[in-house]
Amino acid sequence: MLRRGNWQENFGQRFAKYRSDLKQALTNRHVIWLHAVSVGEVNLCTQLIRALEPRLPNAKIVVSTTTTTGMAELKRRLPNRVSKIYYPIDRQKYVNRAIATINPEAIILVEAEIWPNFIQRVSRLKLPLFLVNARLSERSFPRYRRFGFLFRPLFGAFTGVGCQNEEDAGRLREVGCRAEVVQVVGNLKFDAAKFSERPPLDVRGLLTRLGVAADALIVVAGSTHDGEEVILADMIRRLRGRFPKVFLVLVPRHAERARDVGKRLRERKMAFVYRSDINDSMRFREGEVECLLVNTTGELRYFYGAADVVFVGKSLTAKGGQNPIEPGAQGKAIIFGPNMQNFSDVVRIFRQRDGAVQVGDAAGLEKGLGDLLGNPERRFQLGKNAQAAVAENLGSLERTVEMILQQLAPRGVYIAPPK
């Protein structure tokens, strides 16, 4: 919180201290409480809320988050009628007070948020509790199984669990989820990657101010982790011998790392500009700037739209990987390293469709980038295949909504027919 800043605003909410206007807005309402940990989950949560609202016209939606960056995204993306709060610290006193104040009809947790005091309290009150887009990574699964005497009662408290695939469903049943409540609905990230609203950010205009030519080749490195930025910076410099107009956009996974990344770029004497420093009066000559370093939150998908090639971060110097679906949905040529464990199912889908390139190390990445930059037909075909893979895996949002509504109907919540 100290590192990300802006933690003082509504700090009392973390101890379940809420303003009177929130309490008034919840009085005599069927409240549906959704929780999205941070920015990544906020996008899923936003799509889920938009799908739920038409079916629950008389319900009041409350959404919580843990991070200040998540709260900023909730405020930016959701209307005022949706109440936004910070998730309470997981101690009985604060959990009990939060649940008593919000008095939810049901609670929906996005992905794996297992907080013992919160879940125990919800279970005692016999409230419907859902886990959506649920998955257990190879790393976390053995831990939950090892300490099953602690976690099995918590996983057993869920009323509905929407899993991404059969493998995750099996793991969740093994750690304690009741077999009858576990459903394989697909990956919500495929549905969430679609966006029809007009982009609020003019990326091409930003690049023009930086002197980036209209015919420049744009490499966007998204959600990068420590070490990946300097590898890519050095790599792009070498590739510039073959592609003089190649331009690098670096988007670190955590915006607060941008200052450290900037320091390392300066050590390499790379000419870069921070995204937050760009203004309407700024103008650079062509070739004067080599790199844009994005130190803002929630804009990555818009930069993907301007990319010729996308590198998916946390796949080269760290393990786990980041989400390749967003650039795939926009028809971009995608390349990533060997470590995509958290998206192994998505990677399998993309590679079966020839919708992405996976490399084994930094040398492979440099070769792969060079091949893609030099072959526009290959870039086009990769992007087209990725879009097809995304289209074939849509529908999890509707299946998740139906899973939730089936449990709300017996509680007297009015459910409107689908339009």
Q: How confident is the model at residue 40, as a pLDDT? A: 83
Confidence tier at 4 by pLDDT (50, 70, 90): low
- Average pLDDT over every residue of 212-236: 97
pLDDT digits (tens, 9 = 90+) for 255-272: 889 999 999 999 999 999
Q: What is the DSSP letter of 321?
A: -
29 or 380, greater pLDDT: 380
pLDDT score of 334 more than 70: yes
Q: How confident is the model at residue 156, as a pLDDT? A: 96
What is Dmax (Cα atoms) for the chain? 67
Lowest mean pLDDT among 55-69, 72-86, 135-149, 169-183: 135-149
CB-CB neighbours of 241 under 10 Å: 8
Question: What is the model's pTM?
Answer: 0.88
Residue 415 to residue 105: CA distance in whole angstroms: 13
Q: How confident is the model at residue 38, as a pLDDT? A: 85
Q: Name 176's Cβ contacts closer than 8 Å, sequence gap at least 6.
A: 148, 151, 152, 153, 154, 155, 156
pLDDT score of 198 more than 90: no
Ranges of H-type helices in 254-375: 258-267, 300-304, 325-329, 344-352, 362-373
Q: Domains in the chain and their CATH numbers?
A: 11-194+395-411 (3.40.50.11720), 203-392 (3.40.50.2000)
Confidence tier at 197 by pLDDT (50, 70, 90): low
pLDDT score of 35 more than 80: yes
pLDDT digits (tens, 9 = 90+) for 102-122: 999 999 999 877 899 999 999
- Average pLDDT over every residue of 48-77: 94
Which own/partner contact pairs does 339-343 have at CB distance under 8 Å and 24+ positions apart?
Answer: 339/314, 339/315, 340/312, 340/315, 341/137, 341/138, 341/139, 342/135, 342/137
Lowest mean pLDDT among 35-39, 205-209, 369-373, 402-406: 35-39
CA 143 to chain centre: 24
Size of the chain in residues: 419
**CB 301, CB 292: distance < 8 Å:** no
pLDDT score of 63 more than 70: yes
In DSSP notation, 94-143 reads HHHHHHHHH-EEEEEEESS---HHHHHHHHHTT--EEEEEE---TTTHHH
- Average pLDDT over every residue of 45-71: 94
| Residues paired with 110 in a beta bridge | 132
